Amino acid sequence: MDHFEYRDGALYAENVPVADIVQRFGTPTYVYSAATLSRHYRVFDDALAGIDHDICFAVKANGNIGVLGVLADLGSGFDIVSVGELERVITAGGDPARVVFSGVGKRVDEIERALEVGIACFNVESEAELACIDALAQRMGVVAPISLRVNPDVDAQTHPYISTGLKENKFGIAIDRAEALYADAAVRAGLAPIGVDCHIGSQLTTLSPFRDAVGRVLDLIDRLAGRGIELSHIDVGGGLGVCYRDETPPTPAEYASAIADMLGDRPLKLILEPGRVLVANAGILVTRVALLKPGTAEDDKHFAVVDAAMNDLIRPALYAGWHRVVPLQMNTHGGQTRSWDIVGPICETGDFLAQGRELTLAAGDLLAVRTAGAYGFTMASNYNARPRAAEVMVVDDAMHEVRARETLADLMRGERRLPFS
């Protein structure tokens, strides 16, 4: 469920007509619904009632400070992969003590800053990183809480670019190496092994790979306990999918039930790192049709050129991601009804938001790209020297600009000609 709906033929975000947002902020613009975001968090949290747990939102899915602030106010923790994401969380009011730090290439300055603010845990992804964190923690006179991110070699049955749990993926430590590394970590003065972490991929639409991976991790925990290494938490990552088109992902309740069954009576705190499932349907990308380029009678390829592009939403080009595209106003004009490819102005054949969509369109029409709240703006770029879109948060009947549209001056800030040219 989300809070984007038609009323008298017009698309609303909560109690604001989306066309009013466009009138004020222009296009392309990302529009988020605070009510949808809050509802999705609470549904996920409620599904885990009775289980000692901590929800750590995956900031990579949507790092807007307005979005993070809503989640922080709801009591969310955060999963980060860079010091930039850490600073965003702190600026948004998040508690560093509720932050877990993932990622295969943490820099020295990033580790130092995380130690300085006192994050909850480092998810360590290599032997080299383990040694680095130990050395830095000892130099700073602190003890770093760590878990090992183990790679269980489980196929998540998702797009290969967002699969992270196979042995050929760069992530984590092979599960058959983990016991030895935990034994090593346990005797290092700068480290406190407190948990184990596993994340097998994103946009999971079935529970079987997840059960397989968690089962292997629980076996590891039991073996470690037998060696006197007692862990206090298991971090099962995120990745629960959403419906973009016709997927039928598990519900949060089904997901939570599977976890509870597997944990049994083990005294472990559960940490989860959901991202997409919380924010995807809480956001849309609004764009305007610049012009129509219909094909000939012999050519059935018809293009609707819009002012959003692959630099604004790269998922269709990068992952062959499918997004529903709907008009802001139900058809009330004599536009052309065709099977349209919705394309942007960037000089790439891969610059499309959708292909083969049956729509009635005219130049100037406004369209909403649905389920765009996750991996939308956060993956945006300035390719073709295009300023990035505005971001707007709707709260009931009010609209709030949570990121201003970039200007051309923003694009060139920090650049300069050679001094002798």
Which residues are tagged catalytic? Answer: 347
Among 118, 48, 119, 52, smallest CA distance to 81 is for 119
Among 353, 277, 245, 324, smallest CA distance to 61 is for 277
> Residue 289's Cα: distance from chain center in Å?
28
Query: Do the bridges between strand 390-395 and strand 336-343 make them parallel or antiparallel, or are there none, so unpaired?
Result: unpaired
Side-chain half-sphere CA neighbours of 364 within 13 A: 5
Q: How many Cβ atoms from other residues are within 10 Å of residue 346's Cβ? A: 18
Query: Environment class of residue 326 by beta-carbon count within 10 Å: exposed (0-12), middle (13-18) or buried (19+)?
Result: middle
Rounded Cα distance between 8 and 185, Å, is 62
Rounded Cα distance between 323 and 244, Å, is 6
Supply the DSSP string of 13-71, one letter for each residue. ETTEEHHHHHHHH-SSEEEEEHHHHHHHHHHHHHHTTTS-EEEEEEGGG---HHHHHHH
Rounded Cα distance between 68 and 246, Å, is 29
